[in-house]
Chain A
Amino acid sequence: MEVTLNHYLLIGAVMFVSGVVCMATKRNGIAVLMGVELVLNGANINFVAFARYTNLGLDGQIVSLFVIVLAAAEAAVALAIALNFYNNHQTIDVDQGDRLRG
């Protein structure tokens, strides 16, 4: 059984959906960040799979390089925000961040 584009797209989908569920259901702020990383990786797998199996070519791989770099930048800022949240609320539980609730 040959490995086709569908297989890689399904793996990308598994990672993407896991990331979305992680973002939606976890209460730990860092866990939400992990969900974001999973989402970006699912998209990366899709990009590189299309680069390999269709005529997208190396553009797909270059885009995935940019995605990796931008994900690193975004993780840095998100972590700084999470640290600030922790310093202000003494907990990382994002459900406790409801001071502005109307």
Chain B
Amino acid sequence: MTEQTLFFIFAILAGGGAIGVVILQDIVRMAFSLIISLGSTAGLFFLLGADFVAATQLLVYVGGTLVLLIFGVMLTASGPFRRIKMSSGETLLGAAVGLLFFSVIAFTVLGVNWQAVPSHREVATTQSDQAGNTSRAIGLRLVGIPADNEIGVRKGGGSRTGYLLPFEIVSVHLLVVLIGAAYLARAKRHESRDATEGDA
């Protein structure tokens, strides 16, 4: 019963936050609504027994990426609380397309018989009697050891080669991205408007 209650709280916050991002017009309030939505997503991850992923979501996504977005909002705002309005025709069209898209996805999801998909075997939990104790198992998976007696693991299955290569690639990728972003966003000398106008 607790799980259902918590699920509904987090689901309503996540979904409501997501819909709030679409509906709200002020960019800073949209950012705040997004923060609520992503924080509740972390709560959903906790309910799904993915502690490490949830903590990473809070640390990297909410505490890092969203702060970056908010910095971007501050740096590009052309005045306090300026709103860029949408016409009502666009709003209606957007809502209709959204509802249609959602109904297609929902119809597909509800039409699949998920019972036929093999679920994870009820394996013994680790010595710590908590579900979601996945950090050690994830670490072992990274180097290719599918630890037995961990949650959600096919016995003897799993990727034997590990995820070290993607990990290294992502690390180099992050380095390249940050160098590139720092270069792109450097303070440039502001060209005069006459030079850029040209024959526009």
Contact = CB atoms under 8 A, between A and B. Distances in A.
Nearest to B48: A52
17 contacts: A1-B4, A3-B3, A7-B11, A15-B15, A18-B18, A22-B22, A25-B86, A37-B34, A37-B38, A38-B18, A51-B50, A53-B120, A54-B117, A54-B118, A65-B138, A68-B60, A75-B68
Contacts of A25: 22, 86, 90-91, 93-94
Contacts of B49: 52
Interface of A: 1-11, 13-22, 24-31, 33-35, 37-38, 41, 44-45, 48-49, 51-59, 61-62, 64-66, 68-77, 79-84, 86-88, 90-93, 99
Contacts of A20: 98, 101
B37 A62 contact: no
Nearest to A90: B78
Contacts of A56: 152
A38 B7 contact: no
Contact of B72 (A10, A16, A83): A83
The interface centre, meaning the residue of B44, B78, B170 with most chain A CB atoms within 10 A of its CB, is B44
Interface residues of B, number: 91
Given A14-B18, A18-B22, 13 more contacts: A6-B109, A7-B7, A14-B15, A34-B31, A53-B114, A62-B142, A65-B52, A65-B53, A70-B170, A73-B174, A73-B177, A80-B180, A83-B75
Nearest to B131: A52
A13 B105 CA distance: 7
Interface of B: 3-4, 7, 11, 14-15, 18-19, 21-22, 27, 30-31, 34, 37-38, 41, 44-45, 47-50, 52-53, 56-57, 60-61, 64-66, 68-69, 71-73, 75-78, 84, 86, 90-91, 93-95, 97-98, 101-102, 105-106, 109-110, 114, 117-121, 134, 137-138, 141-142, 150-154, 157-159, 163, 166, 170, 173-174, 177-178, 180-182, 184-185, 188, 190, 196, 200
A38 to B, nearest CB: 5
B152 A58 contact: yes
A49 to B, nearest CB: 6
Contacts of A84: 184-185
Given A30-B76, A61-B138, A83-B76, A3 B4 contact: yes
Nearest to A84: B184
B60 A51 contact: no
B170 A69 contact: yes
Given A17-B102, A88-B196, A55 B134 contact: no
